[in-house]
Structure 1
Amino acid sequence: MIKAVVFDVGETLIDETRIWSRWAERLGVSSFVLMGALGGMAALDRSHSDAFRLVRPGFDLGAEVAAWERDDPHGPRNEFDAGDLYPDVRDALAAIRAAGYQVIIAGNQPRRAYDALVAMDLPADSVHTSEGWGVAKPDPEFFAKVAAVAGREPAEILYVGDRLDNDVLPAAAAGMRTALLRRGPWGYLHAERPRAADADVIADDLHAILPALRGLT
C-alpha cells in the first residue's frame, strides 16, 4: 500500500518556461530557438547543456552561471519562485495530503532551490534537493535517501516525475511505484516511448495522482 508520494521539481511542480526564456535572452537567441534546441536534445537523450553548447559553442555552464550572478546579482536569472508553479500544484498536493498520504518534494535542484520551495509554503511534509544531499538522480543513492527521509519501505512510495531516465526507471529499480507526468518536453516525449509502460501511472496533470493512488495496492 502506498503511504508516501514524492514529487520531482522541474516540469513536475515548476513550469520552467520563464527560466528557459531568460536563458535564451542571456545567450542572445530567441526563446523559440533555445526551446527547439532543448526539444531536440530531449529527443536524442542528451543533456540540456548540449542545447546551450549548440547555440554557443564552447559554453561552460558553471562559468556562465557565475558570470550571470555577477552581472545581475538581484535578478531572477535561472531561478524560480511561486509564480512558476503549475496551477494544479497546491490543490493537488493538499488533496493528497488530506487523504492521509505523506507528501515529499525531492528533485535534482541546486541548494538555493530549497529556500525557494520552502518559501512557497507548499502542502508538503519535507523538501529536499540533490545538491543538499550530495547525490543526484538517477543514482540509486538518491532514491535510497528518498526512502530514508520518508521512513518507508520503497514499495510504499510513489515517485512522480516527468522523465523515464531520471524518475520512472531508477525509482522502479529502487523498488518504488512510479507515475510519469505528461508535461514539459521530456514528459511528452517519454510518454510516447515503449518503456513508459513501466510506469504504474501515466498522468496528464497532478489532479490525476490521487485517483490513481486508490487503484495502487
Structure 2
Amino acid sequence: MIRAVVFDVGECLVDETREYGTWADWLGVPRHTFAAMFGAVIAQGLDYRETFQVFRPGFDLYEERELRAEAGHPERFGEEDLYPDVRDSLKALRADGLWLGIAGNQTVRAGRILRELFSPDVDLIGTSDDWGASKPDQAFFDRVAEVVPAGPAEILYVGDRVDNDLRPAVAAGMRTALVRRGPWGTIQWHTPEAQELPTFRVESLLELSPLIQTFNAPAR
C-alpha cells in the first residue's frame, strides 16, 4: 500500500515562472530570451544552471541569491504562485488518511516560506539546505526514508523530473508519480524513462487521490 505522499516543490507545487523571470531581470536579459535558453539547456540534458553561464560566465547561483537578498530582491513565492490544483489535492489526500510531506532542493529561505504556506497542511517540510543533501543524490532520498513513518515501498514521491525525482526515488525503493508541467515535465514526458519508471503519470495532482485509492484497494 501507499501510506505516504511526498511532494517536490518547484514545478510540482510551485509555478516558478515568476521566479525565473526575476532572474532574467537580475541578469539584464529579456525574459523570453532567458526562457528560451532555459528550455534549450534542459532539452540537451544539461544542468539548468548552465543557462546562467550563457549570459554571465562564472555565475555562482548561491552567491547571486545572497546578492539579490542584500539588494532587496530575495527569492520569493506565495499563494499566488501555487498551481491551482495544490490545495484541493492536499485536502483530498489528507481525507484519504495519507501522511503528507514536502521535500525538495530548496534554500533555508524557501523552507521558511514553505512552512508559512503549508503548515499544518502537511506533516513534514524538508529542504536540501536543511538536510545537507540535494537531489538527485541518494543521500537526499535516504533522508526522506528516515523521516517518513512508512517503508520506502509505501512512499509515493511526486515530482516533475525524471532525472532529479523519479530515477533516484525508484532506486531508493519508492513509488513515484510524474506530473506533466513546467519545462522538465513537458520536455521529458515522452521519453522512455518517463513512460516506464513512474507508478503514476498525471496531468493534475487531483488525479492522485483516486489513483492511490485504486492502487491500495487490493491490499484492503
Q: Into which bin does the TM-score normalised by the smaller protein fall?
A: over 0.9
Distance 2:62 2:4 in 1: 35
**Cα distance, 1:198 vs. partner?**
1.1
| 1:212 corresponding residue in structure 2 | 211
Say if 1:4 and 1:101, in contact at 8 Å, map to a contact too. yes
The Cα offsets for residues 80-133 of structure 1, whole Å up to 9 and x where unpaired, read as 222211111111011101111111101111111111011113521111101101
| 1:10 corresponding residue in structure 2 | 10
Distance 2:114 2:101 in 1: 12
Q: 5+ residue gaps in structure 2?
A: none
The Cα offsets for residues 19-58 of structure 1, whole Å up to 9 and x where unpaired, read as 0111111111111011111111111111221101112233
The Cα offsets for residues 148-185 of structure 1, whole Å up to 9 and x where unpaired, read as 11121100000000000110111011100000010000
Sequence identity (%): 46
Distance 1:62 1:85 in 2: 24
| 2:106 corresponding residue in structure 1 | 109
| 1:173 corresponding residue in structure 2 | 171
Per the alignment, in what secondary structure is the counterpart of residue 102 of structure 2? Answer: strand
| 1:120 corresponding residue in structure 2 | 117
Q: TM-score when scaled to structure 2?
A: 0.93
Distance 2:137 2:214 in 1: 29
Per the alignment, in what secondary structure is the counterpart of residue 159 of structure 1? Answer: strand
What's the Cα RMSD here?
Answer: 1.3
Distance 1:212 1:55 in 2: 43
Say if 2:69 and 2:75, in contact at 8 Å, map to a contact too. no
Distance 2:126 2:61 in 1: 23
Work out whether 1:24 is the aligned partner of 2:21.
no
Per the alignment, in what secondary structure is the counterpart of residue 209 of structure 1? Answer: helix
Distance 1:203 1:113 in 2: 26
Say if 2:108 and 2:129, in contact at 8 Å, map to a contact too. yes
Q: 5+ residue gaps in structure 1?
A: none
How many positions carry a matched residue from both structures? 214
Q: TM-score when scaled to structure 1?
A: 0.94
| 1:84 corresponding residue in structure 2 | 81
Distance 1:63 1:99 in 2: 42
